[in-house]
Structure 1
Amino acid sequence: MLMPAIDLDASMSAGAVLQRLALNGYWLDAAQDAARARIAAVAARVGRPVEEVAARLARDADDCGAAIRRQWGTHVLWYARELREVLVACSHAPPALPLLDVLNLHEPDSQPPIDIGAGAVVMRNGVTLLNGEPVSVSLRVAADAFVLPARAPSPADMALRGADPLAPATAGAARPTPTPTPMPTPVAPPAGPIKAWPRIEAPDAKAAGEVFEVIVGFGAQAQAQVSGAAVDLPFSAEMQALDLQVELSAGPGVQAPEGWSRPLRVTAADVATAQVSFKLVGLEPENPAQPFLTTLEVRYVLGGTVCGTASRALAIMPAAHGDRLDPRPLGQPWQAMPAAATPVALVADARVPDLTLDIGKPDRNAASGQYVCRLISPHALATATGPFDMDLGQDAKTFARSVVEEVRQYGNSALLATALESLGRLVAERLPGEFFQALAELSGRLAPEPVSLLIVSAEPYVPWELAWMDAPLDAARPSYLGAQTLAGRWLRDSAAPPLAANAAARPAAHPIASLQVRNMATMAAWYSAASGLRKLPKAEAEVEALSGSYPGVTLKATAEGMRDLLNATLQGKSGPVAVEAVHLAGHGDFDPTRPDGSAMFLQDGAPLRSTLFRAAKYGGERQPLLFLNACMLGIGGELLGDMAGFPGNSLRGGFGGVLGALWEVDDDVAHDIAIEFWRRALPAATEASDASDASAAPAEGEPVGAILRDLRARYAGTAGTPVPTFLSYVYYGHPRLTLRRAP
Structure 2
Amino acid sequence: MARHKPIRAREFLRSDQTTDSDDEWRYAVEKLHRLQDLVFEIMVERADELIVISGNVASEQVKRLIAEILTDYDPKAQLSNELEVTAPFRSAEDDDFTIEMKGGLTLDAITPAPIISVERYPSFSSNEKPAVGRKFQFEVDLSTIQGGREAIKFDLPSDWQMVAIDVDVYSAQLVMEEKMKRRKVALFEDGRSLPARFQGEVVGVTEEGTVDVLVKFTCEGRASGMARVSFKVEEGNETEVAGSSPAQLGVAAMNAQVRATPPDMTISIYKAGPPTSWIWMVDAPHTQNLGAAQRHGTIDMPDPEAFATELLKQCPTLTKPRHASRLRGIGEQIWARAPEMFRLLYKDMREKFGPRFSIQIMTEEPHVPWEMMFPDGQSGIQNPDHLFMTHPICRWSATYARDMRPQIESGSIASFVPNYPGGQALPAAIAEGRWLVSSLGARAMDPTWDSFTKFWTTDLPKERVAVLHFAGHGENKPDPRIRMLDAYVSRDDVNGAVKLGSRDGTFVVLNACEVGTADMRLGLASGWTERLIKHSFGGVLAPLWKVEDDCASEAVRTYLGKFCRGMPMGMALLQARKAQRDQSATPYAYICHGDVNATMR
C-alpha distance in 1 between matches for 2:213 and 2:328: 36
**Structure 1 residues 232, 713: CA separation in 2 closer, same or farther (over 3 Å shift)?**
closer
Task: Tell me how far apart the structure 1 counterparts of residues 386 and 512 of structure 2 sit (CA, whole Å).
Answer: 22
Cα-to-partner distance string for 1:246-299 (whole Å, 9 max, x where unaligned): 111223x32212420112322234615x112111112247xxx95776631222
How much does 1:566 deviate?
Answer: 1.9
CA distance in 2, matches of 1:316, 1:484: 47
CA–CA separation in structure 2 for the residues paired with 1:715 and 1:203: 59
Q: Does 1:398 align with 2:284?
A: no
Q: CA deviation at 1:629?
A: 0.9
Given that 1:469 and 1:479 are in contact with CA atoms closer than 8 Å, whether structure 2 keeps it comes out as: yes
Aligned counterpart, 1:4: none
Counting matched residue pairs gives 472
- Tell me, in whole angstroms, the C-alpha distance in 2 between the residues paired with 1:473 and 1:589: 41
Which letter does structure 2 place at the counterpart of 1:554?
A
Note if contact 2:299-2:339 (Cα within 8 Å) is conserved in structure 1.
yes
What is the CA–CA distance in structure 2 between the aligned matches of 1:728 and 1:395, rounded to whole Å?
A: 21
Q: Which of residues 265, 274, 278 is equivalent to 1:371?
A: 278
Contact 1:552 1:577 in 2 (8 A): no
- Shift of residue 676 of structure 1? 1.7
Q: CA deviation at 1:649?
A: 1.1
Match of 2:340 in 1: 433
Match of 1:681 in 2: 563
Give the match for residue 267 of structure 2.
Answer: 357
Match of 1:482 in 2: 388
- One-letter amino acid of the structure 2 residue matched with residue 282 of structure 1: V
Aligned residue for 2:35?
none
- CA shift digits 1:205-239 (9 cap, x unpaired): 63322111011113453457xxx413456677621
CA contact (8 A) 1:372 1:387 kept: yes
Q: Which whole-Å CA distance do the structure 1 matches of 2:380 and 2:579 have between them?
A: 16
**From 543, 549, 560, the counterpart of 1:667:** 549
Q: Give the conservation status (yes or no) of the 8 Å contact 2:166–2:219.
A: yes
Equivalent residue in structure 2 for 1:262, among 183, 191, 195: 183
Task: Give the superposition deviation at 1:461.
Answer: 1.4
State the alpha-carbon separation in 2 of the partners of residues 404 and 550 from structure 1. 33
Aligned ranges 1:235-274 → 2 under 5 Å: 238-251=159-172, 253-257=173-177, 258-269=179-190, 271-272=192-193, 274=194
**Quick one: which of 336, 355, 359 aligns to 1:453?**
359
TM-score, length of structure 2 as denominator length: 0.70
Q: Does 1:581 align with 2:456?
A: no
Aligned to 2:66: none
Alignment-derived partner of residue 573 in structure 2: 708
Q: In the TM superposition, what are the counterparts of 1:79-478 in structure 2 within 5 Å?
A: 195-202=119-126, 206-222=130-146, 228-231=149-152, 238-251=159-172, 253-257=173-177, 258-269=179-190, 271-272=192-193, 274-284=194-204, 290=207, 295-314=212-231, 340-363=250-273, 368-382=275-289, 383=291, 384-392=293-301, 394-408=302-316, 410-411=317-318, 416-447=323-354, 450-470=356-376
More deviation, 276-285/723-732: 276-285
Q: Which residue of the partner structure matches residue 500 of structure 2?
A: 618
The aligned counterpart of 1:733 is 594
Q: Which residue of 1 aligns with 2:109?
A: none
Output the CA distance in 1 between the equivalents of 2:128 and 2:329.
Answer: 43
Q: Which amino acid aligns with 1:525?
A: P
Report how far residue 361 of structure 1 moved. Answer: 1.1
For residue 527 of structure 1, what is the aligned residue in structure 2?
A: 420
Distance 2:507 2:157 in 1: 32
What code does the residue aligned with 1:599 have?
Answer: R
Cα pair distance change 1:340/1:660, threshold 3 Å: farther
Residue type at the aligned position of 1:540: I
Change in Cα spacing, 1:292 to 1:387, as seen in structure 2 (3 Å) is: farther
Amino acid in the other structure paired with 1:381:
Q
Report the secondary structure of 2:267's partner residue: strand
Query: What SS class does the counterpart of residue 439 from structure 1 fall into?
Result: helix
Question: 2:279 touches 2:299 (CA, 8 Å); kept in 1?
Answer: yes
Does structure 2 conserve the Cα–Cα contact (< 8 Å) formed by 1:568 and 1:578? no
Shift of 1:473: 10
Residue-by-residue CA offset, 1:79-132 (whole Å, 9 max, x unaligned):
xxxxxxxxxxxxxxxxxxxxxxxxxxxxxxxxxxxxxxxxxxxxxxxxxxxxxx
Asked if the contact 2:164/2:219 (under 8 Å) is kept, the reply is: yes
Amino acid at match of 2:578: A
Report Cα offsets for 1:508-545 as digits up to 9, x if no partner: 6152232332311111111112xxx7221111111011
Rate the CA distance shift 1:621–1:435 in 2: closer, same or farther, 3 A: farther
| Structure 1 residue matching 2:130: 3-state secondary structure | strand
Equivalent pair of 2:347/2:381 in contact (CA under 8 Å): no
- SS of 1:482's partner is helix
Residue 544 in 1 paired to residue 434 in 2?
Answer: yes
Q: Return closer, same or farther for 1:346/1:549 CA change in 2, 3 Å cut-off.
A: closer
In the alignment, is the contact (CA less than 8 A) between 2:412 and 2:463 conserved in 1?
Answer: yes
- Write out per-residue CA displacement over residues 595-646 of structure 1, whole angstroms, 9 at most, x where no aligned residue: xx32111123x33212223442134562111111114453423xxxxxx612
* More deviation, 461-470/659-668: 461-470
| Alignment pair present for 1:634 and 2:522 | yes
Kindly report the root-mean-square deviation, in angstroms, between the aligned alpha carbons of the 2 structures: 3.4
| Partners of 1:566 and 1:388 in 2: CA distance | 41
State the alpha-carbon separation in 2 of the partners of residues 192 and 514 from structure 1.
Answer: 17
* Structure 1 residues 326-351: Cα deviation after superposition (integer angstroms, max 9, x where no partner): xxxxxxxxx89x75421243432521
Q: Is the 8 A contact 1:428 1:467 kept in 2?
A: yes
What is the one-letter code of the residue matched to 1:538? A
Is 1:660–1:729's contact at 8 Å kept on the other side of the alignment? yes
Equivalent residue letter for 1:279: Q
Amino acid at match of 2:213: L
Q: Percent of counterpart pairs with the same letter?
A: 20
User: By how many angstroms is 1:484 displaced?
Assistant: 1.7
Paired amino acid for 2:456: L
> Quick one: structure 1 residues 203 and 731, their matched pair in 2 at CA, closer, same or farther if it must change by over 3 Å?
farther
CA distance in 2, matches of 1:548, 1:401: 39
The correspondence for 2:532, drawn from 650, 660, 664, is 650
Indicate how the Cα distance of structure 1 residues 710 and 192 shifts in structure 2: closer, same or farther if over 3 A, else same: closer
CA 1:549/1:715 → structure 2, altered by over 3 Å: closer, same or farther? closer
Residue identity in the other structure for 2:297: F
Give the aligned residue type for 1:348.
V
How high is the TM-score relative to the length of structure 1? Answer: 0.58
Aligned to 1:66: none
- For residues 237 and 210 of structure 1, the distance between their equivalents in structure 2, rounded to whole angstroms, comes to 45
Q: Secondary structure at the match of 1:647?
A: helix
Residue equivalent to 2:7 = none
What stretches of structure 2 of length at least 5 have no aligned partner?
Answer: 1-114, 241-245, 514-519
Q: Secondary structure at the match of 1:280?
A: strand
Give the Cα–Cα distance (whole angstroms) in 1 for the partners of residues 127 and 522 of structure 2: 41
